[in-house]
A and B are shown apart, each in its own frame.
Chain A
Amino acid sequence: MIRAETLTKRFGEKLAVDGISFQVEAGEIYGLLGPNGAGKTTTLSMISGLLAPDLGRITFDGIELASDPLRIKQRLGVVPQEVALYEELTALENVRFWGSLYGLSGKALAAAAERALAQVELTGRARDAVKTYSGGMKRRLNLALGLVHSPRAVLLDEVTAGIDPQARASILELVRGVAAAGAAVIYTTHYLEEAERLCDRIGIVDHGRILAEGTLDELKARLGEEEVVTLWGRFEADVAAAALAGIPGTRVLSAAAGKVALAAGERGAAGLLAEIYRGGLAIDRVAIEPPSLNSLFLRLTGRELRD
């Protein structure tokens, strides 16, 4: 349904997106997972027609976005990272306004507005001014505005940022429902757990590139059964890296002053730790992490996703 091919975007000297390609089918939730500044929002901006790519192309059901942007935008629902609402207006007025921009009017608009508000469980507060809403309610309304016209594809940009776990769970449930109804969903996040729980396929993004892509299982399989061991202690980065590099079957994933991460290899974390203590490195604390998206990200980029 949506196909992005070698999307590239540069802002001055900074290469924000560097040849990103992916495809999302109807009913599928595709996650773009990466840290802040990885290029996720810029990618969504290009797909939603807000930014023109320097290179590459975007097609929607085979129609190129650049050739008929208004027609394609009509089928897209965009939910931005920021809560973009008119706070002086009521929720109903907000939803009706955004619905009208997509050509809805009369009874169709009224029905769509009612449905969208019901989807985000705001029917009871529909006639209250948005400025009286809590942060979580605003987030839900923000989502409703992108769904009011029943889009065939939905672009969701960090829609759960800064909300409590209960509201987040509610939004994730809603997104699942949207995909189940047949829409293609592109979902950007920097929360590993969200990507793991929600997305059918995940693209791990950093520095404007997709480093790995696949289902959760496919991505974990790339790590094998390797555990990741992280060590904190009183050592310099180069000294630690040199000491650990000598241990067979182990790879140093990242090394900084006082902190080193390494893949345990086939021997497992317990065997590795015995070797490390024998080596005399001054270790204060140890963490052992089973194979996960974070450990994959660490392996791919040398840093943790949550850094």
Chain B
Amino acid sequence: MRVVLSMVAKDLRRRWRAPIPTLVLLAFPLIFAGLVALTFGGGGGRPPKVHLLIEDRDGGLVGRLVAAAFEQGEAQPYFEVERVERVAGDGGDLLERREAAALLRLPAGLTGDVLAGRPARLELVKNPAQSILPDVAEQVSTVLAEGLSSAARLLRGPLDQLRAAFTPLGPRGDDGSDRRVAEIAVLVNGVVRRARPYVLPPVVTLQTTTLGATGGGRQAGGSPRGPSLFLLFLPGVAVYSLFSLSDQTMRDLLVEARLKTLRRQLAGPLTAGRVLVGKALATAAVAGLSLVFLSVLAALVAPRRVDLAGYLLLSLALVVATTGFASAVFAAARNERQGATLANMASLVMAFAGGAFIPLDSLPGVLRALAPFSLIYWATRGYRQLVANGGSLRAVLPDIAILAGIGLVLLVLSAPLWQRRLLRGELS
């Protein structure tokens, strides 16, 4: 054991003496998450507002309710609503001129259709030049449309009564009386508020997906200031960096083969297995120390209370996963360069598919379907649960089990490959 520890100490010392590659990989997640927070969230790391144009061709109660939905409650901090008159064409010119994320068209007769239970269609025109913001508007609108459908079905009784009150209003439901509209709105809002906990699950609201929280959704009644973008992006990018750091350390076995120090070690009283264990432990040590460094820094930049047991176990599982992954990739690679290329490609694919760089909800369906095959997905999911959503150990147990399990399997599978290469003299 002393010999193995000596090998680990030697590798850590070497890394300490040539720190640039390690520092670059450690700085990457901080710089990336920091830039995202600064770019989209201003100085405070708050998410950007979605500039939404609303063309209300309905002009009735439902149309006003839909427009109001973007300006009230939890959606309010994220939307800047601008009402526009009739827009010609597809609205592309207007979107560009106003630098808006999307244009939401409320069709004529929307109020009547909803009250009568007839199908109605909202139209959303997205501005692709506005990055992910149009997607946010789309998701909110989708939820609104679903909410309206649910409300139309669930509030069938009250609506029938209300329809009578609207009859004199004409087909567009417009009597020009703000007082009557206000009365009806208060009545419906009262019903909706009472029904909300049962029929409108708050987790479906969009702000949890793209604007700052995570797929798990923020609890109703929670802080109106969602988790900062820094903490949203940091876990995924940090996990990606840890995979790269582990690759770098495990690759050192092939570097040592090139330097002939591996040959020299094997000429000493060491078995190939012991050399391999030494390098795997060094890899785990580098990943573990890097994780501590990133955690401390993140805690200083954005303090947050987390479940310590969950955090430690998830981190341990991640260290096992990164070590196993690096060991498997470099055991299969014919040489150092091939291993580095393979590891980079695999890590990048896992990071993209795992939602490390771009939130999963913004990815195409194909990538979302691939996400569970990515180790980075499970690690990122686990950290976001703990850090952004205040999740407990119980919430991240599946992530811990999957990371540790796959990591161990990869270690066990790669060990004989290394052993064979070492014994056959391929690396010496």
Chain A interface residues (CB < 8 Å from chain B): 45, 48-51, 70-71, 73-74, 76, 78, 80, 82, 84-86, 88-89, 93, 97-98, 100-103, 105, 129, 145
Contact = CB atoms under 8 A, between A and B. Distances in A.
A129 B17 CA distance: 9
B222 interface: no
Contact of B18 (A82, A88, A100): A88
Interface string B201-230: 000000000000000000000000000000
Given A70-B271, A101-B270, A102-B268, A88 B14 contact: yes
Contact of B14 (A48, A49, A89): A89
B13 interface: yes
Taking chain B's interface residues, is the majority helix, strand, or loop, or is none over half, making it mixed?
helix
A86 B425 contact: no
A80 B13 contact: no
Interface size class for chain B? 20 to 34
Contacts of A103: 3, 269
Given A80-B260, A101-B6, A103-B3, A86 B14 contact: yes
Contacts of B7: 101
A84 B256 CA distance: 9
Contacts of B260: 80, 82, 84
Residue picked from B10, B18, B268, B428, most chain A C-beta under 10 Å? B268
B254 to A, nearest CB: 15
Contacts of B271: 70
B422 to A, nearest CB: 10
A84 B266 CA distance: 12
10 contacts: A78-B264, A80-B263, A86-B14, A89-B14, A93-B10, A97-B10, A98-B264, A100-B2, A101-B270, A102-B268
A80 B294 CA distance: 41
A74 B269 contact: yes
Nearest to A100: B6
B13 A93 contact: yes
Interface of B: 2-3, 6-7, 10, 13-14, 17-18, 259-261, 263-271, 425, 428
Contacts of B17: 88-89, 129
A182 to B, nearest CB: 20
Contacts of B270: 70, 101
Contacts of A105: 2
Contacts of A50: 263, 266-267, 425, 428
Contact of B265 (A45, A85, A89, A101): A101
B3 A48 contact: no
Contacts of B267: 48-50, 73, 76, 78, 80
Residue picked from B6, B266, B271, most chain A C-beta under 10 Å? B6
Contacts of B259: 84-86
A89 B13 contact: yes
Contacts of A102: 268-269
Given A50-B267, A73-B269, A103-B269, A86 B6 contact: no
Given A100-B2, A145-B264, 9 more contacts: A73-B268, A78-B268, A80-B260, A86-B259, A89-B13, A98-B264, A101-B3, A101-B6, A105-B2
A146 to B, nearest CB: 8
B264 A97 contact: no
A70 B2 CA distance: 16
Contacts of A100: 2-3, 6
A93 B16 CA distance: 13
A224 B269 CA distance: 46
B425 A101 contact: no
Contacts of A51: 425
B6 A84 contact: no
Nearest to A129: B17
B347 to A, nearest CB: 25
A259 B6 CA distance: 57
Top-10 shortest CB links A-B:
A88-B17, A84-B260, A100-B6, A78-B267, A82-B260, A74-B269, A84-B264, A73-B269, A48-B267, A70-B269
